[in-house]
Structure 1
Amino acid sequence: MHHPQAESPDNSEPDKRALRRGFLSVRAGFTEDDVRTSSRLLARRALEVPEVAGATTVAGYVSVGGEPGTGALLDALLERGVRVLLPVLLPDNDLDWAIHRGPESLAPVRHPGRITLQEPCGERLGPDAVLTADAVLLPGLAVDTRGMRLGRGGGSYDRVLARLAAAGADPALVVLLYDTEVVDRLPEEPHDRPVHAAVTPSGVHRF
């Protein structure tokens, strides 16, 4: 089942806003059990991606609300001895990074006027720490068959992707989604960069 999508990239930001509302409204209907089940399945599927399974360092994130759950995958990566970096949201929407030490090393941080996130308590490594990652896990609301990702609109991961490109870094870019969020075509803008793979509870989609 495909979600309706805009075909034209022209004037794409209004199109993207409407699409975000649609995808977020579907996620709002998911229960905690739905998210927990997706977390277990996503962990299994993500480790089927060779670039994730073989990574020494993975830049991840802590899912919130109805997002596809990342907890089981983060735990599995730690159990494998992988160095896991988690983001710390900065006032300008850029991301700093710190090493993940397990669920007990996370603390809720309320960002005024925005959102409360679970963030790592450890030493801040700086925004360039993401350049050391072999794989980067990206949040998103949808991806199309070209690998173009629809983000939440805050721009944090656009900055991460631009930083990687400017440094010539080429980690595997993997977005974690629900099955219905892989669609035929999304609007795009010149700065948008495609991801290499999408992981959903039912499988891996490579682009």
Structure 2
Amino acid sequence: MSDSHTPPGSDGPAPADFIGRKTALRDQLITSRGRIGVPQLGELARALAHVVTDIPDVRRAATVALYVSIGSEPGTGPLLDELDAAGKRVLLPCLLPDNDLDWAVYDGSLVSAARGLLEPGGERLGVSAIAQADVVLVPGLAVDARGNRMGRGGGSYDRVLGRVPVGTLTCALLYPWEIGVTVPMEAHDRAVAAAASAEGMRRFD
């Protein structure tokens, strides 16, 4: 990810008001997540797992790229368990010092990593291993009506999405109210083909 903030079609840094709008929206979305109670987090996570495992692309997939949710993110624990029980090969990310993501196969256990993350402890496969996945499930804070995705600002998944082969389903996992939000876009931001929440899946043209 570039260190500059550049709107689409611009060759220079974004104006302060653009950066301010994006920061304000990100803060608003994170605050909204923080208000979700623990029981509801569990219910939403289980419903999300049901929705995602019912997606035809996921049912057909041999290898699925996922991530381990933390805090108030849409929970991926039940989904990880269901994919593993279904015999899927699940790739999980391992954060590198430059914010890029390496990958390893989930073997049923996770280890503590930097920034409070949980990662697979097995062999690292390299950043290009994401191209092996038949479906790529990614985090985010919001997705607009065209699939433009807002992340937390680190740029990790913009890099990941840039390595996914054309035709591979890329799907952001969100809360229902985070789909269809107007998202300020920058030149380096990558869109997704779909978004899934506890209420269902939406594909974008």
Q: Which residue of 2 aligns with 1:3?
A: none
> Separation in 2 of the partners of 1:133 and 1:177?
20
**1:19-42 superposed Cα distances (whole Å, 9 cap, x missing partner):** 110000011112221221111000
Partner of 1:117: 117
Q: Which runs of 5+ in 2 are unaligned?
A: 1-6, 9-13
> Could you say what the CA RMSD is over the residues aligned between the two structures, in angstroms?
1.6
Name the counterpart of 2:177.
180
**Size of the alignment, in residue pairs?**
191
1:76-108 deviations in whole A, cap 9, x for unaligned?
111111100000000000001110112xx1012
Aligned 8 A contact 1:179 1:202 in 2: yes
Q: What does 1:32-181 align with in structure 2 at a 5 Å threshold?
A: 32-102=38-108, 105-109=109-113, 111=114, 115-164=115-164, 168-181=165-178
Matched, 1:16 2:39: no
- Percent identity between the two aligned chains: 50
- Where structure 1 has 5 or more consecutive residues not aligned to the other structure, the ranges are 1-7
| Counterpart secondary structure, 2:130 | helix
TM-score, structure 1 as length reference = 0.87
Deviation of the 1:17 alpha carbon:
1.2
Structure 2 counterpart of 1:73, one-letter code: L
What SS does structure 1 have at the residue aligned with 2:163? Answer: helix
* 1:187, distance to aligned residue in structure 2 (A): 1.1
Cα distance in 2 between the residues matched to 1:199 and 1:94: 24
- 1:132-166 CA-to-partner distances (Å, cap 9, x unmatched) read 001111100011110111101111001111222xx
| Other structure's SS at 1:183 match | coil
Query: d(CA) in 1 for partners of 2:154 and 2:97?
Result: 12
Q: Is the Cα contact below 8 Å between 2:33 and 2:72 reproduced in 1?
A: yes
Q: Which has the higher strand share?
A: 1
Task: State the Cα distance separating 1:196 from its structure 2 match.
Answer: 1.2
Residue 190 of structure 1 and its aligned partner are, at CA, apart by 2.1
